[in-house]
Amino acid sequence: MNEEIENVLNIAHSPEQPLHVDWVNSSDISVTVKRDDLLHAIISGNKWRKLKYALLEILTSSEVNKRLEIISFGGGFSNHIHALAYCCHQLKKQGRTVSFTAIIRGDYSANLTPMLDDIISWGAKIEYVDRLTYKKRNDQAYLDSLKSKLINRSDSKVFIIPEGGSQHSALLGLTELIDELNGEYDYILCPVASGGTMAGLIRATEQLATKIVGVAVLKGRDYLEQLVAEFLPPACDFNNSNWTIEHDFHFGGYAKKNHDLIKFCQEFSADAKIVIEPVYSGKLFFALKHLITHNYFPSDSRILVIHTGGLQGARGDYSK
Ligand SMILES: *Cc1c(COP(=O)(O)O)cnc(C)c1O
C-alpha cells in the first residue's frame, strides 16, 4: 500500500540541491535545499508528507467497498485542503468511493478563490462557516454533529482530518523525508504554521546532532512552541532540546507581506532558479539570508532548508 499510494498519486522523489548564494558571510557555510516543492505538480510538498500516513490509515482501515467520507478544515487559500481534495479525486478515479467535504472559514461562495475553483472541479463539497463556528474545529461535540450530518448512509465511514493535516500520524511522513537525505546536516530550517512539519522533523532527528530551526510565518511567540511541543514526547521538551523557533520573520502575521519581502521573493526566484512565494518559503529563505549575514551559524555549518512547496497559494491574494 505504501508504494502503491505514491504510484496512484504520481509522487516523485524530491531532490537535495546545493544552493549557491553570494550573501555576506555565506562563504564559510554550505546550504542545501530539499526540494519538496518538486514532489508533485499539484499536491503541495509538506502537505503530502503530512497526508500520506493519514490516507494510508484511512484506506487500510476500511474495506474497499465502503464509502469513505473525509472531512477537513481550512481557509480559502489552504494548501492542505487543495492537496487533500486532489488526493480524494485521484483515489476516486482509481475506483474508491471517496467523498470529501471541506469546511471553509468565511463565505467565498460569491467570490471563489482559485483554490476553491480547483477543489470544486475535483468534486469536493464545500461548507462555508463563520469564524465562530470554525473555532470549534477541534471540539468533539461539533465534530460529532458534523459526522452525523454527513453520514447519511449505513455503508459509509467518516474520517476527520484536522486543519493543516497535522495529526499524529502526519509525523511519520517527515521521518521519510529525513530517511531520504544523502547528506548530513548541522541545521535544518523549515517554516512553522500549525507546527506538524517541524514536530515531525524534530522526532525524526532525535538521535542525530542536527538542530531544527523553525521560522514562524505568523505571530505566535510561545504559542507555536506549545503547538510543536504537544506533538512531542515529554523528553523533547522545548526548554532542553535541539530545536528553536525564530519569530522575527512573520512580517506582521500569517500571509502578511511588504515590499521588501515581495522583492526578495522575486530576486531569489530569479537568481537561485527556485521559485518561492511570500506566505511560507519566502519568509523561510528571507530568514535564512538574515541569519547567515548576522553570523547565526558557526563556520563550516552544513545547513539544509526544506522547501515545503505551497506555490498554488501564490495564485491568490492572501491579504483577504
Ligand atoms: C501548511 C504549510 C506549511 C506549514 O506547515 P505546518 O506543518 O502547518 O507548520 C509550510 N509550508 C507550506 C508550503 C505549507 O503549505
Find the range with the poorest average confidence among 13-22, 28-37, 237-246: 237-246
Q: What integer is the mean pLDDT of 277-305?
A: 98
User: Quick check: CB of 14 below 6 Å from ligand 1?
Assistant: no
Q: What integer is the mean pLDDT of 206-222?
A: 96
The residue whose CA has the least distance to atom 13 of ligand 1 is 310
The Cα angle at residue 193 between residues 90 and 268, in degrees rounded to 5 = 85
C-alpha cell at 271: 537568481
List, in order, residues 6 or more apart from 306 with CB less than 8 Å away. Answer: 33, 34, 36, 46, 177, 188, 189, 190, 197, 201, 284
Q: How far is the CA of 191 from the centre of ligand 1 (A)?
A: 6
User: Quick check: CB of 49 below 6 Å from ligand 1?
Assistant: no
What is the pLDDT confidence band of residue 1, given thresholds at 50, 70 and 90?
A: confident
- Evaluate if residue 294 carries a pLDDT over 70: yes
User: Quick check: CB of 167 below 6 Å from ligand 1?
Assistant: no
The residue whose CA has the least distance to atom 8 of ligand 1 is 194
Instruction: Please give the model's pTM, rounded to 2 decimal places.
Output: 0.94
Q: 133 versus 6: which is more confidently predicted?
A: 133
Taking only the tens place, the pLDDT of each residue in 238-285 is: 555 799 999 999 999 999 999 999 999 999 999 999 999 999 999 999
What is the pLDDT confidence band of residue 8, given thresholds at 50, 70 and 90?
A: confident
Is residue 220 within 8 A of residue 251, CB to CB? The reply is no
Task: Provide the residue type at 141 as one letter.
Answer: A
Is residue 106 within 8 A of residue 73, CB to CB? The reply is no
Q: 244 versus 153: which is more confidently predicted?
A: 244
What is the pLDDT confidence band of residue 316, given thresholds at 50, 70 and 90?
A: low
The number of the ligand 1 atom at minimal distance from the alpha carbon of 193 is 9
β-strand partners of 104: 74, 128
Q: How far is the CA of 251 from the centre of ligand 1 (A)?
A: 16
What is the pLDDT confidence band of residue 40, given thresholds at 50, 70 and 90?
A: very high
- pLDDT at site 85: 98
Alpha carbon of residue 216 to chain centroid: 13
**Ligand 1 pocket test target in 33, 194, 275 with most atoms within 8 Å of CB:** 194
- pLDDT at site 237: 59
- pLDDT at site 270: 96
Q: What integer is the mean pLDDT of 228-237?
A: 81
**Ligand 1 pocket test target in 34, 49, 52, 79 with most atoms within 8 Å of CB:** 79
**Ligand 1 pocket test target in 171, 197, 231, 265 with most atoms within 8 Å of CB:** 197
Taking only the tens place, the pLDDT of each residue in 177-190 is: 999 999 999 999 99
Q: How far is the CA of 162 from the centre of ligand 1 (A)?
A: 13
Cα separation, 202 vs 197, whole angstroms: 9
Q: What integer is the mean pLDDT of 71-79?
A: 96
